[in-house]
């Protein structure tokens, strides 16, 4: 079975997220809110987050459509990988991110892959192919949609906790502050489960890329160059978009716990074992 490890993890985390969501829906029902309204509201909220997130990600880096004549080789490269993956070709865009990086957003059949101009300059052809295959794997595995659904559930649970404290208290400023803090902490707690899946998905995308480019070495070299290229340079990529990127340079104790990516050294080690 393809990606059995990912599917087992998704089943485990999905059960936990559903339990959180069911608690919120049950509480809303006791307050007299129809369950159909909770469901419709949740779908609309998730859809809004998906659309807004996609638009903001592209806008924040100033992404522009990748001209087929100027970047003919990259377009041909993507055509070949998409054919192997049985994947509709996504829109290709290029952006000046300040550092070498790339990310995918959208869904399977309506995705966008953004590559930084810095990345194109420093990578060899096979290395760039590995990076693009990694991003196409995210679209193929519906990773962006999965993350948006997880984030939406975390947000809904956090908002529910916040308003519960505010409505059951004395309606003073203390209840507002307490509700706000409790909502943020609850959202972070739920996101821990989502982020654990996100880190594993990076390994899966690396593995898929290695399969489609004939081995993990080119992508391993690309990650090494990307890591070196990011040192001492200011990235124009915000935190929300960095979660989508192939490389996230931020580290630290708290950042490691809340990281969307596993350590790049571990990814390189795994890639070289394929």
* Distance from C-alpha of 147 to C-alpha of 197, rounded to nearest angstrom: 9
Bridge partner list, 93 = 65, 114
Catalytic residue of the set 127, 135, 231, 234: 135
Bridge partner list, 105 = 112
Per-residue b or e along 199-221, where b marks 16 or more CB atoms closer than 10 Å to that residue's CB: ebbbbbbbbbbbebbeebbbbbb
Q: Phi/psi at 86 (nearest 5 deg)?
A: 55, 50
217 tagged catalytic: no
Q: Phi/psi at 200 (nearest 5 deg)?
A: -70, -35
Q: Evaluate the CA torsion angle 231, 211, 123, 93 in order and state its sign.
A: negative
Residue 247's nearest CA partner among 232, 228, 226, 231 is 226
* Distance from C-alpha of 235 to C-alpha of 60, rounded to nearest angstrom: 12
With H, G, I as helix, E, B as strand and everything else as coil, classify residue 103.
strand
* Distance from C-alpha of 51 to C-alpha of 112, rounded to nearest angstrom: 13
Q: Phi/psi at 111 (nearest 5 deg)?
A: -100, 170
**Residues forming the active site:** 135
């Amino acid at each position: 079975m393809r990606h059995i490890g990912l599917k087992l993890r998704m089943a485990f985390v999905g059960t936990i997220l559903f339990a959180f969501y069911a608690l919120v829906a049950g509480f809303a029902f006791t307050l007299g809110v129809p369950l159909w309204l909770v469901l419709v509201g949740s779908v609309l909220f998730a859809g809004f987050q998906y659309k807004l997130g996609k638009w903001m990600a592209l806008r924040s880096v100033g992404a522009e459509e990748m001209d087929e004549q100027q970047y003919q080789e990259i377009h041909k490269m993507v055509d070949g990988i998409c054919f192997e993956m049985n994947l509709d070709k996504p829109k290709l865009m290029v952006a000046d991110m300040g550092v070498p990086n790339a990310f995918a957003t959208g869904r399977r059949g309506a995705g966008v892959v953004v590559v930084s101009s810095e990345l194109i300059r420093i990578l060899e052809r096979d290395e760039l192919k590995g990076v693009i295959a990694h991003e196409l794997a995210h679209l193929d595995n519906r990773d962006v949609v999965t993350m948006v659904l997880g984030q939406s559930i975390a947000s809904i649970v956090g908002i529910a906790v916040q308003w519960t404290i505010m409505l059951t208290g004395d309606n003073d400023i203390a209840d507002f502050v307490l509700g706000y803090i409790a909502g943020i902490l609850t959202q972070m707690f739920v996101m821990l489960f989502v982020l654990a899946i996100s880190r594993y998905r990076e390994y899966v995308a690396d593995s898929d890329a290695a399969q489609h480019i004939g081995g993990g070495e080119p992508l391993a070299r690309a990650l090494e160059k990307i890591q070196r290229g990011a040192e001492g340079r200011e990235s124009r990529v915000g935190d929300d978009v960095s979660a989508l990127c192939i490389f996230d340079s931020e580290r630290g104790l708290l950042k490691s716990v809340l990281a969307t990516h596993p350590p790049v050294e571990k990814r390189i080690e795994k890639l070289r074992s394929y």
